[in-house]
Structure 1
C-alpha cells in the first residue's frame, strides 16, 4: 500500500476512542498511545524504509478526574432560536446573540453570519448527557496547543550521522558530588549533589542509587535515590541534598571507603569517590 508513495498519513485514534468509552480510560489510553506510536516508528523505519516522519495531534483536551462541581458549569443563556451548534466547550450562534458568562471568539475573520463563544478556563457549558470529564473545542492552551515532533532517522553508517554523532546520541544526565569534605566524622551526615546538565535535547532523565561501601564492596550505609529529571538551566534548581546513615559498626580511619553513584538503568559505569571514616565513639556501644 505504501510502496512508491511520497507521503503516507497514519491516523491513530486510541485516546479519542477511549474518551467515548469511559472517562477513567483516558489517561491509560494516553500511555498506551505513546507506546504504540513508538512501535509504529520502528515499523516505519525498518519495514517501510522511511527516514522522516512528523508526529502531531489535531487538538488537545481538558480532562478532570473528579466529578465537576456546579460552579464549573455554565448555562448558555442565548435565545435557542439563535443557537446553531452547542457543545461542552463552544457555542456557535447567529448574529446578535449575547450569551452570559461566555467569551466571544473571533470566528472566520468576521466574514460570516455567525458568532462563536467559549467558556473561560476549564468551565463546561451545561448540556444533557455524560462526557463532562473529557472535553475539547475551547480556547484553553491545553486544547489549542499541540506538539509537533519532527523525526529524522540517520543510519549509523552514513556520514550525516557521523557528523552529528555527539549531537544525536541520547545520553542520561550525570550526577556529581559537590561536597568537598572527604572525611566522615558522624554516623548521620548530609552530602550535596548536582545534576550536571538539564534534561532536554539529547540529554534524558536518569535515576541513581547513592550509597557507601567498603573495600570488599559491602554496603555500609543506607541507600539514597536521586531522580535526575530537572529541566532548569539554573544549577541551583538541579541540586540535591541527601542524608546518609552509616551502619552501626567499627570503622578504621586507615581504610578507604567509597561513595558509589550507580545508574539504575546500568547504562553507565558506577562512579566512586574515596572517603575516610573517623568516628571517635565506637558505634557498637551506641544504644539508639
Structure 2
C-alpha cells in the first residue's frame, strides 16, 4: 500500500542519516585516535581486563557476596536503558559506568577478560579461543573452576539454570558461594546468525525484560550486590550493506590463523591503509600474536556470515561497555508527581468555556513517576453531574524549568450547565483506583457560574 511504501521510504531516510551522519562520521573520527595509540588504553575509562580486580574483589574483600550477570553483546546504550528500567522499580537503585572492552571485541576474549586472571593469551588452536592463566575458559564448567581457584567458593551458570531454581534453591546457591557468574545470551545469539540478525531490536527488548526478571529473582534470594556487564558491544545496520562497507582485500601477513567479520588473528602483518595492527602486548595480552582490524566500521567478507550485526573491531559501539551496579533498598523510594490547579483570582465562569492551568510540581524522573488524571467540571448537587467535556491528562513532563511544567486546558460547558447559573460548580481531578474501573478525587477547586447567556456551542 501507499502507506507502507511511505514508511519504508522514511525508514530508509532515517537509517541513511544514522549510518552516514552519525555512525560513520563518529567512528571515522574515533579511528584517528585509535591510529595514534601504541597501547590499547584510554586514561579516563577502566579497562575490561580490570573488571574483577576493580569491581568484584573489593566487594569480596568486605566479606560480602556478589553476583555478576554477563549479557552477551549488551551494548552501552542498552545498559543505560536497563538502568532506567531498574530505577523505575520501587526500592531499586542502579548506577552506570563505562568500561573499555578488549580487542578484538569478540566473545571468547571478552568473557575471559571478565574472569579473575593474571594473564590472557590466544590459544594455539587457530579458532580464536583464549586461555586464562593457561587454562581454557570455554563453558561454565571451566569458568567455575577458574572462579574457585581464585575465590574458593564461586560458581558459573547459564541464566536458564538460574531461572529454573525455586526460591530455596536460589538462596542455597547464594549461601554456598561468595561470587556467582550468570551468563545471558539473547542479543548475540540472535544477531550472530544470518537468518535472525534482523531481529536484533526485538532481542534487545527481550533482553531488558529478562535481565529485570533475573535481578528480581536474585534480590528475592537476599542478594544485595549485583553487577551487570557485557563481553562486547556491536554495530548494527538494518539495510543491506553497500560494497563500500567492506574492507578492501585481506592484509598481507606471514600467517593468518583466524578470520572474523571485524578482525584477523595472526603474526607478521604488513602495514596497510585500510586496517590497524596491534601486537598482543599492546593489547595487554601474553604471547607474540598480532591482530589486524579494518578501520572505522568496515567489515570483512566471510562466506555464510551475516554482515548487518557485527563485532570484533574497535568502533565505539563495540568497545564501550556498560557496568551496571544494582542495589535494593529497605524503604520505598518511588513516588508520583504532584499536580496543582492554578486557580488564582479567576474563580468566576462567565462564558461557555474556561481555560484552567495545571502545574506539575516535580520533574518526572525514574523515581518520581508520571501521573494520569481525568479532569472535568461537575455540579455540586448529589454525586455531581459532569457539565463539561472531560480530558485525560498525562503529567509526565521532565523539564527542570517550572514554567515548562504548566499545562493549560480549555473546558467547554454543555447544556447541562445552563441551569446552574449563580451556583457553585467544582473542577475535579480524578485518578483511577488501581486494578478497578473506579476513580477517586485527587484534587478539586470551586468555581462560581455567572453567565449572561447559554453555552457558546451546541452539544
What TM-score do you get using the length of structure 1 for normalisation? 0.70
Q: Equivalent residues in 2 for 1:155-174 (5 A)?
A: 161=330, 165=331, 169-174=333-338
Deviation of the 1:196 alpha carbon: 0.9
Deviation of the 1:18 alpha carbon: 2.4
Task: Decide whether the 8 Å contact of 2:364 with 2:370 is kept in 1.
Answer: no
Equivalent of 1:77, from 248, 253, 271? 248
1:56 aligns with 2:229: yes
Deviation of the 1:255 alpha carbon: 1.7
User: 3-state SS of the aligned residue for 2:424?
Assistant: coil
The structure carrying a bigger helix percent of its residues is 2
- Counterpart of 1:151? 326
Distance 1:45 1:224, change over 3 A: closer
User: 3-state SS of the aligned residue for 2:180?
Assistant: coil
- Counterpart of 2:149? none
1:99 aligns with 2:273: yes
Distance 1:183 1:259, change over 3 A: farther
Task: Decide whether the 8 Å contact of 2:241 with 2:308 is kept in 1.
Answer: no
Distance 1:8 1:125, change over 3 A: same
Between 1 and 2, higher relative CO (CA 8 Å, sep ≥ 6) is seen in 2
1:274 aligns with 2:445: yes
- Counterpart of 2:209? 35
- Counterpart of 2:393? 225
User: 3-state SS of the aligned residue for 1:147?
Assistant: strand
- Counterpart of 1:158? none
Structure 2 unaligned blocks of 5 or more: 1-171
- Aligned alpha-carbon RMSD (Å): 3.8
Distance 1:278 1:194 in 2: 29
CA displacement 1:120-163 (0-9 Å, x = unmatched): 3xx44252445333233344444333333322334xxxxxx4xx
Distance 1:61 1:79, change over 3 A: closer
Distance 2:281 2:451 in 1: 77
CA displacement 1:255-279 (0-9 Å, x = unmatched): 222241536868x975313042555
Structure 1 unaligned blocks of 5 or more: 155-160
Deviation of the 1:78 alpha carbon: 5.1
User: 3-state SS of the aligned residue for 1:146?
Assistant: strand
Deviation of the 1:199 alpha carbon: 0.6
- Counterpart of 2:114? none
- Counterpart of 1:194? 360
Deviation of the 1:11 alpha carbon: 0.7
Deviation of the 1:6 alpha carbon: 0.6
CA displacement 1:55-109 (0-9 Å, x = unmatched): 2222333334x414528x5231254433945544456675433234x6x487657
- Counterpart of 2:106? none
Equivalent of 1:132, from 296, 299, 307? 307
Equivalent of 1:25, from 178, 188, 199? 199
Deviation of the 1:254 alpha carbon: 2.1
What TM-score do you get using the length of structure 2 for normalisation? 0.47
Distance 1:176 1:107 in 2: 64
